[in-house]
Amino acid sequence: MIPRSRLLDLDRLSLAQRQAVLAEDGPLLIVAGPGSGKTTVLAARIAYVIVARRVAPASVLALTFAARASRDLRTRLEHLLGDAAQEVTVSTFHAFGLRIVRRWSEGLGFEPGPLAVYDADDARVLLREATQRLRLNVWGRSTSELVEKVACARLRSDDPSVSTQIRELATAYEQCLLRRRAIDFPGMLVMPLRLFTARPDILRLLQDSYSCVVCDEFQDVCAPQYELLRQLAARHRNLAVVGDPCQAVFGWRGADVRFLLDFAQDFPDAQRIDLTQNYRSTGQIVDVANVLGVRLAFRPPLWTTNSDGPPVSLRALADERAEAAFVASEIGRLLNAGVVGELAHVAVLFRTNHQATPLASEFRARGLPYRAQRGICLHPSVDLAISDQGPPAVLLTTIHGAKGGEWRVVFVVGIEEGLLPHRRALEAERRSACGLDEELRLLYVAVTRAQERLYLSHCRTRQVGARREMRYPSRFLRGLRSNNVTQVAA
């Protein structure tokens, strides 16, 4: 039985949130700014169509990008729907694609039997085998580079920048996967679409199964993910997507924000609702976010009824060691003053993995507990205790890894030309004037993770390989107003 939940009490929602929950059937675009309660709205809308519109829970498909987001959404649905929430399909795109391929693998040419799932290491080994089979001359290209290019060829089938050689390699690689009855992560996205082409009856079966399709973080979809959503919703046309173009930061792995920007062209009858009230951050932090976001205009600026809070701190420091010392010292001060109750309320964000090394060294020297985002490789001389379990600790993470999170206190370090924006983006800008919007969106995402206190910093010099280089403040810091930002030179 579905319980009557307090979260279905529409009086608890803002006017815009209620509009999103109560929107009529058909295509729906919810443009949700950071901290605007999008997961609350998404869960409430799913619960509403089930309770008020009598849609069977098993007919609802909710797709997300991360397992953490899936777990969060399912937990909220359980609170709203009780046992009925278990009938709703809540899944990441990759897990949903894998389920389809496993169920109908023979329709894709696989021999009968269970499928193996290949990780990145398996994929590198198999790609070397495919390269040898084709006798391709790939001198000067690392296996990692080839893996990236082959994945791009498979995810962007119509990309004219992909060479004939890479397309041939991608075909040979997929043939090797087929022979081994294996699937990799890109395959989980592209193989279902091939199945739908070969077996339209399977597509129709899935269309009949899911009369309501929703997608979280829509700004991060790549072409196959968008096509999957479009085809699944083609019959009932009940497709609700939630996203924010100002937080599109995964273009390097195939995501294309144009699917969100052009949603109204693809679905002319789509309703659009903007969620712009920020419930997360202080007024000062929201103001800084709006200064950055004005250059990314697609939705109205954020606003909040939260208190102003302290000004955002902008620090100029001598080098990365001084920067790490400042961060560690300030965290200690906040802890001793009772401003933060525990270290788990603090995160330090940076653009590239290697920036974690001086921070970790300084934290260790001071006995300050920390943990690093999975995938960050620190200098081997640094003795780490970074397991996700254990006592509360400061989180060291890239900005990409911080997406979706929030902390009472956030430090964003290394906001310098060559780091944020990254040198690769600057080189691409010089070659083709392609713009630095994704780098600016990264800083926007970093700033909007903070709830109460935000510290921004840059260095005058920084060690880059064997050289020590002069560094300059990021162009993105220009325009920050003195009434919102306190600038300190050390």
Lowest mean per-residue pLDDT among 80-94, 141-155, 249-263: 141-155
Q: Cα(168)–Cα(161) distance, rounded to whole angstroms?
A: 14
Q: Which two tokens stand for residue 160?
A: 């004219």
- Does the predicted TM-score (pTM) go above 0.95? no
d(CA 199, CA 189): 16
pLDDT band (50, 70, 90) for residue 143: confident
Residue pair 440/476 in contact (Cβ under 8 Å)? The answer is: yes
End-to-end alpha carbon distance in the chain:
62
pLDDT of residue 384 exceeding 70: no
Confidence label for 39 from pLDDT (cuts 50, 70 and 90): very high
122-131, 266-275, 373-382, 425-434: which has the highest mean pLDDT? 266-275
Confidence at residue 139, expressed as pLDDT on a 0 to 100 scale: 56
Mean pLDDT of the chain: 91
The rounded distance, in Å, linking the Cα atoms of 277 and 198 is 46
Indicate whether 412 pLDDT > 60. Answer: yes
Is the pLDDT assigned to residue 2 strictly greater than 90? no
The order of strands in the sheet holding 394-398 is 370-372, 394-398, 346-350, 407-412, 450-459, 312-317, 485-489
Which range (117-131, 135-149, 168-182) has the least confidence? 135-149
Cβ-contact 312, 456 below 8 angstroms? yes
Please report which helix (H) or strand (E) contains residue 89, including its range: strand 89-92
Distance CA 198, CA 105 (A): 12
Cα torsion through 365, 367, 371, 376, rounded to 10: 10
**50 near 214, Cβ under 8 Å?**
no
Give phi and psi for 239, each to the nearest 5. Answer: -115, 115
pLDDT of residue 73: 96
Q: Is it the case that residue 396 has pLDDT exceeding 80?
A: yes
**DSSP state for residue 369 in the 8-state scheme:** -
Q: CA 259 to CA 227: how far, in whole Å?
A: 10
Q: Residue 221: phi, psi to the nearest 5?
A: -75, 145
Distances (CA, A) of 261 to 101, 190, 213, 296, 406: 30, 23, 19, 12, 26
Q: How many Cβ atoms are within 10 Å of 388's Cβ, its own excluded?
A: 9
Q: What mean pLDDT is predicted for residues 36-45? A: 96
Instruction: Calculate mean pLDDT across residues 79-96.
Output: 96
Q: What is the pLDDT of residue 299?
A: 83
> Rounded to whole angstroms, how far apart are CA atoms 394 and 342?
9
Encoded tokens for 318: 């001598």
Encode pLDDT of 417-431 as tens digits: 999 999 999 998 888
**pLDDT tens digits for range 438-490:** 999 999 999 999 999 999 999 999 998 889 999 999 999 998 877 778 887 76
Percent pLDDT > 90 in the chain is 75
- Spell out the residues 6+ positions from residue 343 whose beta carbon is closer than 8 angstroms to its own: 331, 335, 368, 369, 370, 392, 393, 394
Residue 390 has pLDDT above 80, yes or no: no
Residue 6 confidence (pLDDT)? 47
Q: Closest Cα to residue 185, out of 252, 122, 105, 94? A: 94
Listed in sequence order, the residues at least 6 apart from 137 whose beta carbon sits closer than 8 Å to its beta carbon are none
pLDDT, one tens digit per residue, over 307-355 is: 999 999 999 999 999 999 999 999 999 999 999 999 999 999 999 999 9
Higher pLDDT, 16 or 161: 16
Q: How far apart are the C-alpha atoms of 102 and 99, rounded to whole Å?
A: 5
pLDDT higher than threshold 80 for residue 36: yes
